[in-house]
Amino acid sequence: MTIILTTPKEVALSLAVRAKARRLAFNLSQETMAEQAGVSLGTLKKFEHTGKVSLETLLKIALVLEALDAFEQLFLPPKPEAYLTLDALLKDKSRKRGRR
């Protein structure tokens, strides 16, 4: 079991701070960034201030900031090498589908 010391809110704020820093590194104004991402200026401002944004908007922002490929790595299944032995693989009781 892994102990996580950050909350989702803290992660969202951290993402917002890093996105803003990257936007500034690309020398983009908020107006230009919002236009290129296809989101409203208010939405971008809210994201940079609070970290709150829809997933679709976050992906649009990531695309403009050339960071979309990082999202491709989320939620990948464990690699087969993660199992050290055949016994460990056979003992894996992870769910293959939901209940409903």
Q: 13-51, pLDDT tens digit by residue?
A: 999 999 999 999 999 999 999 999 999 999 999 999 999
DSSP code at position 17: H
Structure tokens at 56: 């679709």
Checking if the pLDDT of 100 tops 70, the result is no
Mean pLDDT, to the nearest integer, of 65-70?
95
Mean pLDDT in the chain? 88
- Degrees, nearest 5: CA angle 4-6-8: 110
Contact between 83 and 89 (Cβ < 8 Å)? yes
- CA distances (Å), origin 29, targets 22, 68, 80, 81: 11, 20, 45, 45
Helix and strand totals (H; E) in the chain:
5, 0
Q: Give residue 80's pLDDT.
A: 66
Structure tokens at 36: 């290129």
pTM of the entire predicted model: 0.75
- Degrees, nearest 5: CA angle 70-15-44: 105
Contact between 24 and 17 (Cβ < 8 Å)? no
Q: Give residue 89's pLDDT.
A: 66
pLDDT interval class at 63 (50, 70, 90): very high
Checking if the pLDDT of 1 tops 70, the result is no
Residue 78 or residue 20, greater confidence = 20
